[in-house]
Amino acid sequence: MPHILLIDDDQALAAPLKEYFTRYGLELESVTLPSQGLKHIEQSTPDLVILDIMLPEMDGFEVCRTIRKQSNLPILMLTARGEVMDRVIGLELGADDYLAKPFEPRELVARVQNILKRSATQPTTRKQIELGDLKLDLVQQNAWIGERALNLTTLEYRLLALLVQHPGQAFSRDEILNAVKGIDADLYTRSVDILISRLRLQEADTTLLLMTRDRIGNGPLPLIIGVTIIAILLLIALTYHLVRRLFQPIQTIRQSVARFGSGELDQRITLQRRDELGELANSINTMADEIQAMLEAKRQLLLAISHELRSPLTRARLNAELLDESEPRARIIADIQLLEQQLAELLETEHLENRHAKLDLQSTVPKNLIESVIQQHFSTSRLSCHHEDDNQPIKLDAVRIRLLIRNLLDNALKHSPESTEPVMISSRIVDQTWAVTVQDHGHGIPAEHLPHLTEPFYRVDKSRQRETGGYGLGLYLCRVITEAHRGTLQIDSKMDKGTCVTFTVPL
């Protein structure tokens, strides 16, 4: 039976997780302190370590770094911190996979089994590989070019080993991510480009400017001409340097402000001057420090809220899974899923409300996107779909647009009686704009409520009954997603005739 070690200070999570793992033939042992976990690894090497990030004594990143210095023991990071940068740091330190709380217990088991399967089937017959001047040590995970050792991160080494072991073979981004990171790679497809660029190994380039003068005559004229040309070139270079120095401070300030405004919050102006431009640079730096501190405080609050809510939800979900099949068990799991959805939408809207939030824009065909949403979530619903010139690829954040369309269709179906016509969704591209309209045939919405429908937590039904609506974030999230794409969201409704919602996105 595979032996799994859990290093997590949440003692209430260990007991139900251990019982759940037993159902799938996995033996789980838990410790709450990193020092206990490292000692356990030295005395009795487990098959896999499940590691939390926020731990006493030292954080999970430091524990992962310590383990990686000693062995290639498989590591799965399981934590309430689900930020993209935390995932990237953990994976680059050598973690094999990363799962954020709250999680589906069956998904955790699947990831553990997947890692154990990969570690058991890794080739061990070859300890070293040589390809030209490049040499890899598969045991110590070191690499050299000639006699020069390469300083590679764990992910860079895994990528290099993959390519060297399969010379001449082409890999897709997803194949590379699955090989070097594990199965949780949906959000980081572009990180392959970064890894590839860092592996473009080349020697330092040195350029020598050689100025020579051949004998072109016996008199002094050629020498005079040569000296004159050199003097003119030096004068031009000096003039260029002086002009550049004169305007450089303004250019530096402009570039730094532009980078800070584009989201690089740690950007500061490095300008050593004691005149008015120096005072301006210092003032901008002070403002940047205050803004960064304010945004960091807000981010830390979100992380704290996320951690405090996700851990109890995870424990509740685990304990609910252990109950016998019954109607109360199903209702409990449904309520937990509703809380998880509310938490996810709260964090998503907060991220998108930040002007520095970045969309994952990819080339997407609108027609295919809409049909995939219908097939996945509304295959048995009464829907009528109409497309008009929307079969051309455009740049969209496909994940968030799918969420937008799903929310609109879910609202329309919820408020359309069975006796009325089917809900209609139409998509068209006209004048460099993609427009989508969702039309239901329900009772309609009073005019005084229309201006407030996209406000957070606003509901037409103040009694907040589940049968008449959610918790007031759906349309607000739709508006935020649309505005993040520089688009608009419009709602029209007539009593006893239905409601029409249209969003537009510029191409």
The fold adopted by the segment(s) 221-358 is Helix Hairpins (1.10.287)
Question: Any residues with CB less than 8 A from the CB of 411 and at least 6 apart, and which?
Answer: 440, 474, 475, 501
Query: What burial class does residue 68 get, using C-beta atoms within 10 Å of its C-beta: 0-12 exposed, 13-18 middle, 19+ buried?
Result: middle
CB 101 within 8 A of CB 80: yes
Sign of CA dihedral 272, 274, 280, 283: positive
CB 142 within 8 A of CB 181: no
Kindly write down the DSSP assignment for every residue of 292-333, as one continuous string.
HHHHHHHHHHHHHHHHHHHHHHHHHHHHHHTSPS-HHHHHHH
Sign of CA dihedral 67, 74, 21, 87: positive
- Name the CATH superfamily housing domain 362-506: Histidine kinase-like ATPase, C-terminal domain (3.30.565.10)
Q: State the pTM of this model.
A: 0.45
Question: Tens of pLDDT along the chain (507 residues)?
Answer: 889 999 998 888 888 999 999 999 999 999 999 999 999 988 888 899 999 888 888 888 899 988 887 778 899 988 776 677 777 777 777 788 888 888 889 999 999 999 888 877 655 445 678 877 888 887 667 888 888 888 877 777 778 888 887 777 777 777 777 777 654 444 455 666 666 766 664 333 322 222 223 333 445 667 788 888 999 999 998 988 887 777 777 878 888 888 777 767 777 887 777 777 788 888 888 888 888 888 778 767 766 776 677 778 888 888 888 888 888 888 888 888 878 777 776 666 666 665 555 678 889 999 999 999 999 888 888 899 999 988 889 999 888 898 899 889 988 998 888 888 899 999 999 889 999 999 998 888 888 888 888 887 677 665 444 444 545 567 888 888 898 888 999 999 998 889 999 999 998
CB 174 within 8 A of CB 185: yes
CA–centroid distance for 217 within its chain: 69
- CATH for the 3-121 domain, from 3.40.50.2000, 3.40.50.2300, 3.40.50.300, 3.30.1540.10: 3.40.50.2300
Helix (H, G, I), strand (E, B) or coil at 279: helix
Question: Any residues with CB less than 8 A from the CB of 180 and at least 6 apart, and which?
Answer: 155, 158, 159, 162, 195
Single-letter amino acid, residue 255: Q
CB 192 within 8 A of CB 173: yes
Geometric angle at alpha carbon 152, from 113 and 81, rounded to 5° = 50
CATH code for residues 128-198:
1.10.10.10
Q: What are the residue ranges spanned by the domains of the chain?
A: 3-121, 128-198, 221-358, 362-506
